[in-house]
Amino acid sequence: MAQIPDDLIVEMRLALDDLGEARQQVADLVARECDPHLGAAVMRLMIAAEQSTRKQMQPQNSLIWGWLFGGEKAAASAASR
């Protein structure tokens, strides 16, 4: 099995954190500049789009997600599904 270097895993986790933070900033901006309900709707839309993309890519990236969040054992388990 291919091995992902630890420093790359750390960078990937930080990027995911940055994505969540950016999503929140966009929703806050829309809420502040337009309407609080619209800000909440934008947040739900961004989350739904991310979940849909993840679901479509699940077979291809289950190994990567497993590795990121559970290590080699979880990645092997995800790849076998």
pLDDT tens-place string over residues 13-68: 888 788 888 888 988 998 899 888 998 888 888 888 877 776 766 655 666 666 66
In a domain, 6, yes or no: no
- Top-confidence residue, 47 or 73: 47
pLDDT above 70: residue 71 = no
Q: Look at residue 60 in the predicted model and tell me its pLDDT.
A: 58
**pLDDT, position 57:** 63
Q: Are 11 and 64 in contact (CB under 8 A)?
A: no
CA atoms within 13 A on the CB side of 9: 15
Domains: count for the chain: 1
Residue 62 neighbours by CB under 8 Å, 6+ apart: 75, 78, 79, 81
Unique residue bearing structure tokens 């990937």: 12
pTM > 0.85:
no
Inside any domain, residue 7: no
- Calculate ∠ Cα 59-60-66, nearest 5°: 80
Residue 9 lies in a domain: no
